[in-house]
Amino acid sequence: MFRCAWCMKKIGDNEPLHAIDVKFAEGIDYSDEEGEIVQVYLNSRQTSVPMIVTTADSEAKKNGQDGLFAVCSKACGEKMKTALTKEIDTFKGFSDMA
């Protein structure tokens, strides 16, 4: 069971899951928590949001993705991406997951 990283709504197993891939900025390391959901603090929102840490042997990691945010809708995804553009100390980049 995931929660939307933007509005915190629960996302059911049978509901479509949208995700935003992120690449961490220099010095950000969650390698001790691979495959787990960690709380990441967003300065622009002044709150922590759940992020899934990509495992080292996954396809996502090979594609340079370090983590992902699950969101419940495209609308929440757009708001999340806008917030991420302000979090340059934490995230180097992000993209929509196909």
Give the residues lining the site for Zn ion (CB under 5 A): 4, 6-7, 9, 72, 76
With respect to Zn ion, which residue has the nearer C-beta, 32 or 39? 39
Least separation, in Å, of the C-beta of 59 and Zn ion?
A: 25
With respect to Zn ion, which residue has the nearer C-beta, 53 or 80? 80
Residues 70 and 3 sit within 8 Å (Cβ to Cβ): yes
Q: Which helix (H) or strand (E) holds 77?
A: helix 74-84
Question: What is the CA 28 to chain-centroid distance, rounded?
Answer: 14
With respect to Zn ion, which residue has the nearer C-beta, 53 or 70? 70
